Structure 1
Amino acid sequence: MSQSIDATAVAAAFTEAFGGTPDGVWAAPGRVNLIGEHTDYNEGFVLPFAIDRAAAVAIKLRTDNVARLRSSYGEALTVSVNLDTLSHESMQGWTAYPLGVVWVMRQMGITLGGFDLFLHSTVPSGAGLSSSAAIECAVATAFNELESAGLSLNELVLVGQRAENEVVGAPTGILDQSASLLATEGHGVFLDCRTQESKAVPLDLDAANLLILVVDTKVSHAHATGGYSARRASCELGAEVLGVAALRDVSVSGLPEAAGLLDEETYRRVRHIVTENQRVLDTIAVLGHAGPGAIGDLLTASHASMRDDFEISCPELDLAVDTALAHGALGARMTGGGFGGSAIALIPAASEATVREGVLQAFAAAGFTAPDIFAVSAAPGARRIA
């Protein structure tokens, strides 16, 4: 789990907030999506990996139906809600993520009483690294154990997705929660979003003297509003016109026919999804026979598709990608839902300082807010840490 999560410190913060000792501390990582963007809700393929930044929750069960929540975000304020009257209106701000999980589990018939919860996270918010899924998965893992609910990891994935969709209001697929719950150290999670079948794929970055550098542009995005929903609607329209259950069922060879059936914008949205699914499969194949140093062109092609066909990039993301490539990156792309957030660059470890300085200088010259730049490694998934 993330070296930046100190379970003892999280437990101590719980004690300071609520008194007493928590029943345990659980953590779940954020994620970088190596490739496969917006393919998840189209029942396609994705290849994320968990990162060494995580959300941690310290929880103690209560004997009533009151939930008290506090986080290390901003002011030290405790939010108190009665679970018997829990509603979408009472789940606001950051509390919508843990309370959304509780609401979904109670909807499933799992008996959840009151609790005290303290949250601390090292996953940057709004950076496209799934800070929300990290919270959901940490909370779901904790209550699955505390209440002996017996849910499988795949069932916990769906709990988190339902919280995101039905409570937070973000129409996301299962990518983020799957990465946070199913990941193993040093591996990506190759996920079939139609069947929920997954496979651990060795990334072997260290052996190849490579690393993934994240450039958090500081352009915050929100999945629950605007462009994300519009892109999903375009995909659903494309599938309906093409007469398929999901765009997963359209092959690259079927794109010329699709072009004759769809309006120009919808066709470009469909083309991104279809070619992105193929890039995920190609990346898996290349990792297997040539190693991580050979996947750079696929990452860069993915960014071009998101920029031009899906139109979810922004000037800051494009600058981060172009500058990283100009300073020695083997490949680079925006990662996450888009409209801000982060870009990733696959770089030789020896080039880290060069790429970092180049991106910082380029952002300064463009008058953009200075980005946060950091390397990430492939971390294990959600688990109890104290």
Structure 2
Amino acid sequence: MTGVESGRWAAPGRVNLIGEHTDYNEGFVMPFALPHTTGATAARRADRVLRLSSAQIDGAPIEVSLDGLAPGSVPGWAAYPAGVAWELERAGHRLAGAELSFDSNVPTGAGLSSSAALEVVTALALNDLNDLGLTPEALARLSQRAENDFVGMPCGILDQMASASCAAGHVLFLDTRDLSRRQVPFDMASEGLRLLVVDTQVKHSHADGAYATRRAECETGAATLGVPFLRDVAYDDLDAALSRLPDPAIRRRVKHIVTENRRVERVIDLLDAGRAREIGPLLTEGHASLRDDFEVSCPELDLVVSTAVAEGALGARMTGGGFGGSAIVLVEEEAVDAVAKAVKDAFATSGYRAPRTFEATPSEGARRVATP
């Protein structure tokens, strides 16, 4: 077998600037990669065994046979890398066993795609160890299918494509229907702006079930309107479409997806025109839609947004699947400290756990970082 014998790979978490829950509706998204990564030190084995360990997880390494993989056969965190191997084999790639040791600084449960980073770094390492020659797009699709079919989480393609193919200094304008994409320069610092991530450190236990419910509601809306996906409902036809939906909850879900796709288009137009400051109100508008129409926010996320905007931020919104996790805040450079302090104080006043705040810098996608 050709391919490298061993090495180290890294795949980042991501922030989604705008375009939430649109990916499984074949809509538009605009993520960028964070500097936070999941690393994998990997070496090929002579047998057909995966030996998986994580610096963040106590306990002995987990060993799984490539010949016995099936959904439900691997519990906990190890299901993500095992699922990637299963999908590669289902795609016709016979793999050698591997030692895979992971180490990550992507915050877990923060809505920053720690699971996608784990999947993509596994896919990239196994691709190189087995000399498969797969593209970043192919690795992203395999990783998404692993999360859908092996782990059982019905996510869209946004997270995996962001981790696999974002470029440093850019936001990725991605059409999830055909995966056509464009790297858009996104250098906030040069314009005197900062984009903060506020991790509420909250993850609600019902999030995964609610995510699946939202996806099913979108599918119901599309079926009722007679279109393949909600992407196919034109913004100009939204009022007419909503009038055909008898269920008020389905109407709200459809409204969010159609208006969110439109917000992505407006943001990309503003960035292309060099008017980055003007995207702020669209971020805040998007949060209101996620809170009121898609109903995936929570009090902690709402508090970040309302406090930041009241303190002078240009805009703010939750990012990720919702029900906890993180918000992003677009702010003038000189107001960073004041906004961060206001949010921290608001959390303390409300009796919430102190949030974690850091600057989001558009960074490089998945890559091999070392080969012994």
Fold match by TM threshold 0.5: yes
Note if 1:289 corresponds to 2:279. no
CA RMSD of aligned residues (A): 1.4
Deviation of 1:378 after TM superposition, in Å, equals 0.1
Does the residue aligned with 1:91 lie in a helix, a strand or coil?
A: coil
Residue of 202, 205, 213 corresponding to 2:185: 202
Contact 1:126 1:222 in 2 (8 A): no
| Counterpart selection for 1:358 from 323, 327, 342 | 342
Matched to 1:238, the amino acid is G
Match in the other structure for 1:79: 62
1:7 corresponds to: none
Partner of 1:5: none
Q: Percent identity?
A: 52
Aligned match for 1:336, one of 292, 315, 320: 320
1:137 to 98, 110, 120: 120
Residue identity in the other structure for 1:103: W
Q: Residue 65 of structure 1: CA displacement?
A: 1.2
> Secondary structure, in 3 states, of the residue corresponding to 1:295?
helix
**1:31/1:51 contact within 8 Å kept:** yes
8 Å Cα contact 2:23/2:176 also seen in 1: yes
- Which portions of structure 1, spanning 4 or more consecutive aligned residues, are displaced by more than 2 angstroms? 87-90, 221-225
Instruction: Give the C-alpha shift of residue 90 in structure 1.
Output: 2.6
Q: What stretches of structure 1 of length at least 5 have no aligned partner?
A: 1-21
Q: Normalization by structure 2: what TM-score? A: 0.96
Residue 383 (structure 1) shift: 0.2
What is the CA deviation profile of residues 109-132 of structure 1, one whole-angstrom value per residue up to 9, with x for unaligned ones? Answer: 111121111000110111000000
Match of 1:118 among 91, 101, 109: 101
CA distance in 2: counterparts of 1:222 and 1:149, whole angstroms: 38
One of 77, 84, 98 as aligned partner of 1:101: 84
Show the 5 A alignment for 1:1-386: 23-221=6-204, 225-262=208-245, 263-386=247-370
Q: CA deviation at 1:204?
A: 2.2
**1:222–1:48: structure 2 CA closer, same or farther, 3 Å change rule?**
farther
Q: Does the CA-based 8 Å contact 1:57-1:120 persist in structure 2? A: yes
> 1:154–1:223: structure 2 CA closer, same or farther, 3 Å change rule?
farther
Unaligned runs of 5+ in 2: none
What is the alpha-carbon distance in structure 2 between the residues aligned to residue 136 and residue 211 of structure 1? Answer: 29
1-side partners of 2:191 and 2:161: how far apart? 26
What do residues 206-233 of structure 1 show as CA deviations (whole Å, max 9, x unaligned)? 1111111111111115797311011101
Cα distance in 2 for partners of 1:148, 1:115 equals 13
Q: After superposition, what is the alpha-carbon deviation per residue over 1:175-220, rounded to whole angstroms, capped at 9, x for unaligned?
A: 0011111111110000000011010011121111111111111111
Secondary structure, aligned partner of 2:196: strand
Q: In the aligned structure 1, how far is the partner of 2:357 from the partner of 2:110?
A: 11
Counterpart code for 1:373: T
Amino acid at match of 1:267: R
Please give the secondary structure, in 1, of the residue aligned with 2:81.
helix
Shift of 1:168: 1.3
Q: How many residues align?
A: 366
Taking a change above 3 Å as real, the CA distance of residues 90 and 52 of structure 1, as seen in their structure-2 partners, is same
Q: What does residue 14 of structure 1 align with?
A: none
TM-score by length of 1: 0.92
Which stretch of the first structure deviates more once superposed, 336-345 or 350-359?
A: 350-359
